[in-house]
Structure 1
Amino acid sequence: MSKKNNGKRYNDDFRKMIVDLYHSGSSVKDLSSEYGISEVSIYAWIKKFSPIELEDGSSVTPDDYAKLQKQLLRIQEENEILKKAMAIFARK
């Protein structure tokens, strides 16, 4: 038996365009019927691509924030490894 994927795939540019249309005043229901996308998908894209305003006036999307969190964790792990290596080399 082969597994058939009937789901549509949209690239990030298309998703961002839909979110921009939503922010410019189009309703989710109108966008859903016009582009043939489920309302649930559009709401998920709005959540993912809508910018969050920061205290310093800049903005970041939740997707960018998640990427920054992941990068911070990786750098913290690298820092711990380097501290341990320094301790080993300092003993010699």
Structure 2
Amino acid sequence: MPLDLTRYPYNWQELSLSVREKNGWRCSCCGKRCYKLGEIPKELTRSEWSGAILQTHHRDFNCSNNSPSNLTSLCSICHLNVHRNKYSSVSPGQLSLW
């Protein structure tokens, strides 16, 4: 899903980059070392490298609150899990096997 930049401040790319650099290109949740921009090894498939893309997350889920204390870096897997747990339309137990 493409990022809708109209929901973010004009300098979002710079803010996001500064958060990821400040965190040493590591996920603040799982500690995984993620790839820097342009660093993805060509010998890896998309499925092999896509989980190691570092993203910037708003802790309060409000993309207009861009204070440094509200921004953190998460790998794409942890970021997906954080949002899934917050916004999932699936009820607990709904996917259990019978």
TM (norm. structure 1) is 0.32
- Larger helix fraction of residues: 1
Question: Greater relative contact order (Cα 8 A, min sep 6): structure 1 or 2?
Answer: 2
Give the structure-2-normalised TM-score. Answer: 0.31
Query: Which one has a larger percent strand, Structure 1 or Structure 2?
Result: 2
Greater C-alpha radius of gyration: 1
